[in-house]
Amino acid sequence: MQAILAVTAPFFALVLCGWLAAWRGVLPDSAIPGLNAFVLYFALPCMLFRFGMDTPVLELLNPALLGVYLLCALLMVFAAIAFTLGKRVHLKDAAFGALVAAFPNTGFMGVPLLVALMKLVLHPLLVFVLLTAASALGAGLSGLQIMVVTLTAALPSASNVAMLAERYGADNGRITRIIMSSTVLAFVSFSLLAWVFGVRPQG
């Protein structure tokens, strides 16, 4: 567990530093959209390219992995909408909340923590169960592939959904609270899941 925390703690500490910088005014609000755009359109694609360039294309585009992950994402979207839609949460807000639940929180249906827990617990569990079932049915998935995709599903909610929610006039405050809750909780849940899988950090 100590080796896992040595990898996860700096990542979440950096997120905390960003939040503190915005909260204390060190990072002005006007700079945040530009920073988000840089991460979304430049830094993230470069990082994904770097990680994927040594992986065979057929392994990156494995139909069974992609199919199961897409199915799980759709199930999460429909489940999140069904659980949160109501008088206080309209369809547009429920739909963007569902995107947060599907991507790597006052009443039972209205608290954003609920959606964050769906993202961090239900989503990876669903992915793990369906991938394991697909492997048992002859999909030819390795234990490593199942572990990596399950850990991917266990990551906190994607922050770019908040930008989309703001652009299309949804309740961006609610979406941001879900993302923040999932990020805080993921420090524990993701680290525990990695420990359960017996992940050995490299380098």
Q: Give pTM, 2 decimals.
A: 0.76
**123-137: pLDDT as tens digits:** 999 999 999 999 999
**CA distance from start to end of the chain:** 16
**94-114: pLDDT as tens digits:** 888 788 777 764 533 344 577
Domain boundaries, the chain: 58-197
pLDDT at 67 over 80: yes
pLDDT at 90 over 70: yes
The pair of structure tokens assigned to 111 is 């608290």
Q: Using DSSP, state whether 107 is helix, strand or coil.
A: coil
**Cα-trace Rg, the chain:** 18
CA dihedral 142, 143, 145, 148 (to 10 degrees): 180
pLDDT at 124: 93
